A and B are shown apart, each in its own frame.
Chain A
């Protein structure tokens, strides 16, 4: 990577991509709405441009537009996209197809969904190069093996013969990078390539992607909402909001001296941190839990204690048994052995054997607020249901309580009649919080409740949860893979790995040395807002 503090070469022949006054409209509710409102973007050969912004900012749309592609339901309504002398805004489909997959390549967010399940990886990797006759098919296949090797995939000789479902998400994402690199394009669009990965996997994928774009001096547009990630990858950063450019600057300058208030607010989100408080009054505990899905054992001797009025964060990668632990606590998954104790009383293992009162005391909030609500029920019905079921409230009493709950989550009575589809992501999650609160629970289990939200919205939800905890002395079990969130809200931390508890204790104890190996790996994998972080980490780790 070129040093971002370098002065930009002024010579125009270096310019690979020049987008001017790009306007893109999207079709919804039977009319066209502007999504991108006149954005400029210039990219020189071998440069990496980071595009950041919240969801809905239009960064992905703009990234695809750099290829001259708009999704179905969108149209380019103005501007020019000059790619190496060709205006992609005016080019025919046939002209663009000649470029796609050969000179411009795309790496999608969800590798699992973006590989065709019916074909072997190697066939998909060489498809574009072979079709356009970049080189003979056999050479492309040999080259793909070399790319697999360069990207540090295991068994580079044979991994290509597998089908997409046979390799892990992190490996798939690297195969996709190989697929993009196979025809040696001039430009690669990375569209949130590591968002769906665990932090420990993300580091490896980032490192191998950066290595390979440097090796071939490929220009790239790197789209992400994660500032720390983009700091590792990009020479320049452009911040987008509501389809407009907020500011653009070299990475270091952007990180240290952001000019616009919006950029500054993005940077400050990570500042939230609650002081930890020790708690001894255990409200809920699970002891020596073993649990399995069918023959597959997923929890091994797991014990966790929740002190009343505190937040216990459970961290770990996907597949480490975090959500299964929550399912055991709620009784959704009866354990093979071990006990769940609530207020000193052993709870029945299975949900159906628990009394209404026991059910009422432990509530749950889910990651996908979308799917956790009945799309045909209004907010009033959604919050009202637990009020009727647990507390037997009716009529005026029920309505008053709903208004109270809405007030607690900082929404007003105009939301009563709305359907989930009429709410934003953050509002949906607030309604789910209100629904959990309605039962007046002692414990709320929050399963990745902020993972699907943008950083600023996350901040709002986390602050709300903390305020509610203070006011009603609620205990949270907070499941997450995001260490920043853990730092922000937890009192105690439980680290899980492969269905076992690696460590558990106060936040200050867990987050300070000495670390057990896994905790160390996990903590060191969390990207930091320092452009040299990845480089230093790789040197220290010696990968």
Chain B
């Protein structure tokens, strides 16, 4: 058990180290973006003096390493900084804290991701296991073909098709998923139905196929033949003898897809006008709102690292060799 704990702690430490590296990459790549906020706000006509003064006010005049460490320092204290937007050259400051901008959006994104995951993960596991169970039957082929089709179709197209059928021809769900902090839970669920369904169709294939492959891969093992010769039925073989040994690869692909639900759904957000963090980041990039972009990128990186860490841990605790050393 101690071995497992130390492995987990090691992975956690590695995750934190990765996050630092990523923060440096985020910072330097944003510094390399052409143009900056002051030029974007003040326009082409602004004099050099005004631009310089404005840059000074935002702290952009300091050298990059100094700005980086200031940023990392304040993030470590829980302060993501102040957004650039809302400021203008006239000196009036209506800017907001980045935290206040990001957090509601992040919650919306996590809500949509959570709803999708609750549908997609059990569905994918069910389809994957049954496809492995009825391998090479018509059922297996239909499930494979259907999921392949949905994964091969661009997500905006899936979204518009769903809108066409479920919002337009048979208007059961709204085509707009505009929610705010005051929306009640039931109403929220109703409004995110179509975006969640779209995302489900997009991610289910990957998880389902991996589940199927992981199980089938194990079906050639001698211990599966042994289980058959002990009289186990097909479903017992899959659920009792194969699945417990297949969790590691399945958890990895689930983690990958959940991370995608948090960081990669901007297209779906745009189609359904859903106020998620993806849109916020795109807007912030357009307006060169560096603190917001950095905060979003950091959150995305942390999501990836955290979910992969979880998958690693699942891989460890489902492996008796690691959990019960000799």
How far in angstroms is the closest Cβ of chain A from B221? 7
Across the interface, A131 reaches (CB within 8 A) one of B226, B228, B229, B232, namely B232
A117–B231 contact, CB under 8 A?
no
* Residues 231-246 (chain B) with a chain A CB within 8 angstroms: 231-233, 236, 241, 244-245
How far in angstroms is the closest Cβ of chain B from A418? 27
Flag A185-222 by CB within 8 Å of B: 1 or 0 each: 00000000000000000000000000000000000000
Interface bin, chain A: 20 to 34
Given contacts A102-B231, A113-B221, A114-B222, 14 further A-B contacts (CB under 8 A): A99-B231, A100-B230, A100-B231, A101-B231, A105-B230, A106-B229, A113-B222, A114-B225, A116-B226, A118-B320, A128-B231, A165-B320, A166-B326, A179-B230
Q: Give Cα A98–Cα B232 distance, bound, in whole angstroms.
A: 9
B226: which A residues are within 8 A, CB to CB?
106, 108, 114-116
Taking the complex as formed, is A132 at the interface, i.e. its CB lies under 8 A from any CB of chain B? Answer: yes
Taking the complex as formed, is A119 at the interface, i.e. its CB lies under 8 A from any CB of chain B? Answer: yes
Taking the complex as formed, is A97 at the interface, i.e. its CB lies under 8 A from any CB of chain B? Answer: yes
Q: Give Cα A71–Cα B226 distance, bound, in whole angstroms.
A: 11
Taking the complex as formed, is A127 at the interface, i.e. its CB lies under 8 A from any CB of chain B? Answer: yes
Taking the complex as formed, is B8 at the interface, i.e. its CB lies under 8 A from any CB of chain A? Answer: no
Residue pairs across A and B with Cβ atoms less than 8 A apart, 7 shown, are A99-B231, A100-B229, A108-B222, A113-B223, A117-B223, A165-B320, A179-B230
A117–B230 contact, CB under 8 A?
no
A115: which B residues are within 8 A, CB to CB?
223, 226
B326–A165 contact, CB under 8 A?
yes
Taking the complex as formed, is B24 at the interface, i.e. its CB lies under 8 A from any CB of chain A? Answer: no
Most buried by B among A69, A114, A116, A163: A116
A119–B230 contact, CB under 8 A?
no
A118–B318 contact, CB under 8 A?
yes
* Residues 148-162 (chain B) with a chain A CB within 8 angstroms: none
Flag A123-146 by CB within 8 Å of B: 1 or 0 each: 000011001100000000000000
Q: Give Cα A99–Cα B236 distance, bound, in whole angstroms.
A: 16
B94: which A residues are within 8 A, CB to CB?
none
B324–A166 contact, CB under 8 A?
yes
Give how many B residues have a beta carbon under 8 Å from the other chain's beta carbons: 23
Q: Give Cα A113–Cα B226 distance, bound, in whole angstroms.
A: 10
B232: which A residues are within 8 A, CB to CB?
97, 101, 127, 131
B318–A71 contact, CB under 8 A?
no
Most buried by A among B241, B318, B319, B320: B320
Leading 4 A-B pairs by shortest Cβ distance: A101-B230, A101-B231, A118-B244, A100-B231
* Residues 33-85 (chain A) with a chain B CB within 8 angstroms: 64, 67, 69, 71-72
Q: Give Cα A110–Cα B321 distance, bound, in whole angstroms.
A: 18
A64: which B residues are within 8 A, CB to CB?
229
In the complex where A71-B225, A166-B324, A166-B326 touch, is A116 in contact with B231 (Cβ < 8 A)?
A: no
B229–A163 contact, CB under 8 A?
no
B236 closest partner in A (C-beta):
A131
Taking the complex as formed, is B227 at the interface, i.e. its CB lies under 8 A from any CB of chain A? Answer: yes
B225–A67 contact, CB under 8 A?
no
A110–B231 contact, CB under 8 A?
no
A119: which B residues are within 8 A, CB to CB?
244
Across the interface, A116 reaches (CB within 8 A) one of B223, B228, B321, B326, namely B223
B225–A98 contact, CB under 8 A?
no
B228–A98 contact, CB under 8 A?
no
B228: which A residues are within 8 A, CB to CB?
69, 100
Q: Give Cα A323–Cα B227 distance, bound, in whole angstroms.
A: 34
B227 closest partner in A (C-beta):
A116
A118: which B residues are within 8 A, CB to CB?
241, 244-245, 318, 320
A127: which B residues are within 8 A, CB to CB?
230, 232
A97: which B residues are within 8 A, CB to CB?
231-233
A163–B324 contact, CB under 8 A?
yes
A110 closest partner in B (C-beta):
B222
Q: Give Cα A209–Cα B229 distance, bound, in whole angstroms.
A: 19
Q: Give Cα A380–Cα B50 distance, bound, in whole angstroms.
A: 77
A67 closest partner in B (C-beta):
B229
A116: which B residues are within 8 A, CB to CB?
223, 226-227, 241, 244-245
B233: which A residues are within 8 A, CB to CB?
97
* Residues 82-102 (chain A) with a chain B CB within 8 angstroms: 97-102
